[in-house]
A and B are shown apart, each in its own frame.
Chain A
Amino acid sequence: MSKRSPAEQLDQAISALFSTSQQLPEPSSNRSIAALVSLVRPLRAMPRPEFKASLKSDLQRRTTMNEATAPAPESSRATQFRRPNFPNIAPYFLVKGAPQFIDFLVSAFEGTERIRVPRPDGSIMHAEVAIGNSVIELGDANEQYPSRPMSTHLYVPDADATYARALEAGATPVYAPTDEHPSGDRWGEAKDPFGNTWYIATRKSAVSAPEGFLTVQPYMHLRNAHDMIPFIEAALGAHATGVHKSPDGIVRHATIEIAGATFEIDEAQGESQPTQSYLHVYVPDTDAVYAQALAAGAKSVQPPYTAPYGDRAAGITDPFGNTWFLATYLGEARP
């Protein structure tokens, strides 16, 4: 006579079932336990809640972007490969406490949450917050993709007002917006509670931020920043649109364009220590760019694959430690 509790007996039967392929092990002599074990097969056929939520969010994104039934006409080659209503380049923040980070972005920068894909434990697998004409992507950090503080340049209509809101939302002041910044823009700096740095600027000079610039521009501080320019040109087909160097060749600031969208780099120094960013970039041909990037010295994080949400996607790490999520929008769920 077994002295094990019914819960123990049940678990032993379930464990035995898991360790076999498909057939039930010896039927339990206890009829009530056997009746419970017979539920295992249908339970294993249940969908993952995370998948159901993720697919729903993806479908919502397609409908809100009007992609599914009436794709917006794409007028230029530069936009054909990117997801409609999505910038070519978006910073991807992986933080500890993604729900709180979303709250911060909404409060500080008047962001609009447009997608949130939760995991069953309440953490966030993927979310998107629209700010101005741009999008910030984010999720909770994990072992594969740990949290990394990043720097971001925000072009906003009123730097002072945005700076004040950021502090109210919990950011730490570095310096208040000033007209004395070398860029010629009104420019301030704050650090959010997650360790990220925000350069909050309002355009004042025609050359600093031409019309059409993204509200959100990733900003990388790099050691030997001058080496990034030939790498990124060879790897991602980018080109530097404005490079300001000191007489000894140090990159003080450079704007790099990839397929019509830009990010900024400079030499890491002083308070601006080297950053390692996550970026999501839409390119005309993920497979070709992935191969090109590896040939230029990048390392593979994820070989190209067709993601269920309709992108051809891949991942690489550049020699500076930045992770690039490459994507080409396929225009439909499956090729």
Chain B
Amino acid sequence: MAVRRPAQKPAPQGADERLLVEAAQGDPAKFDALYELHFDRIYFFLVSRVRDRATAEDLTSEVFHKALANLPNYEWRGAPFAAWLFRIASNAIVDHYKRSNREQQVDDLEHPLAQPDLSSKDLNFIERHVHFFRLVDQLPEIQRRVVCERFVEERSIREIAQRLSKTEGAIKQLQFRALQTLRAQIGDRHV
């Protein structure tokens, strides 16, 4: 029987988020809730800029470790908590390129998308992807697994078939159904 994961709640706004931040400031163990809420957007923000999974993972790790360490100094000023995380992430990108001595790439940071003060268009772009990732999470477990193996791990159909003990034809069908479901859920829109 297919297992469906519970849908993740949308990011809380205003007062709710402030409560989460204050709870984590009082008890760092409660940082988990902020991590779950913001992991996808920070990861996507980073991977869409550095275009390399390993680097995006390193930087995502750096961002959340820094956020956790600096949480006691965070002051709530009404802006979404994500804005603070995006600022840390932007600094992490700059530091990364400085470390890599990729001067040309540092110039690329002049692009508005690389700036911490993201436009509403940029934020919409990120949020559409976060929403899409959550739709993937809600696929039936076997379809979600095939999607992850195929597109995230970039495994061949043959490899996935072996790992999941299914035929290659079955894996292609699962892949097809998963993408059909996702397409139906987002309609004609671009992600």
The residues of A with any CB-CB pair to B shorter than 8 Å are: 6-8, 10-11, 14, 18, 35-36, 38-49, 51-52, 55-56, 58-60, 62-64, 66, 68-69, 120-121, 308-310, 332-334
Contact = CB atoms under 8 A, between A and B. Distances in A.
Nearest to B95: A334
Nearest to A62: B68
Contact of A43 (B56, B57, B147): B147
A68 B48 contact: no
A156 B180 CA distance: 58
A177 B50 CA distance: 59
Interface residues of B, number: 53
Contacts of A56: 32, 35-36, 39
A120 B145 contact: yes
A10 B173 CA distance: 10
A11 B156 CA distance: 10
Which of A38, A45, A51, A62 has the most B CB atoms < 10 Å from its CB?
A: A45
A51 B68 CA distance: 18
Contacts of B149: 120
A309 B57 CA distance: 12
B62 A7 contact: no
A64 B31 CA distance: 11
Contact of A69 (B58, B61, B72): B72
B148 A7 contact: no
A46 B151 contact: yes
Contacts of A48: 53, 57, 148, 152-153
A43 B153 CA distance: 11
B23 to A, nearest CB: 12
A11 B129 contact: no
Contacts of B60: 47, 51, 55
Interface in B94-140: 129, 132-133, 136
Given A38-B190, A63-B31, 4 more contacts: A6-B176, A11-B175, A47-B47, A59-B68
A88 to B, nearest CB: 23
Contact of B28 (A10, A11, A69): A69
B86 interface: no
A313 to B, nearest CB: 14
A7 B66 contact: no
Given A7-B172, A47-B43, A36 B183 contact: yes
Contacts of B136: 43, 46
Interface in B13-49: 28-29, 31-32, 35-36, 39-40, 43-44, 47-48
Nearest to A309: B61
Contacts of B66: 333
A10 B172 contact: yes
A207 to B, nearest CB: 42
Contacts of A42: 129, 132, 191
B179 interface: yes
A46 B176 contact: no
Which of A8, A38, A39, A310 has the most B CB atoms < 10 Å from its CB?
A: A39
B133 A51 contact: no
B163 interface: yes
Given A59-B64, A333-B61, A35 B183 contact: yes
Contacts of A38: 190-191
Given A45-B48, A47-B39, A36 B61 contact: no
Contact of A39 (B57, B68, B179, B188): B179
B142 interface: no
B82 interface: no
Contacts of A10: 172, 175-176, 179
B152 A46 contact: yes
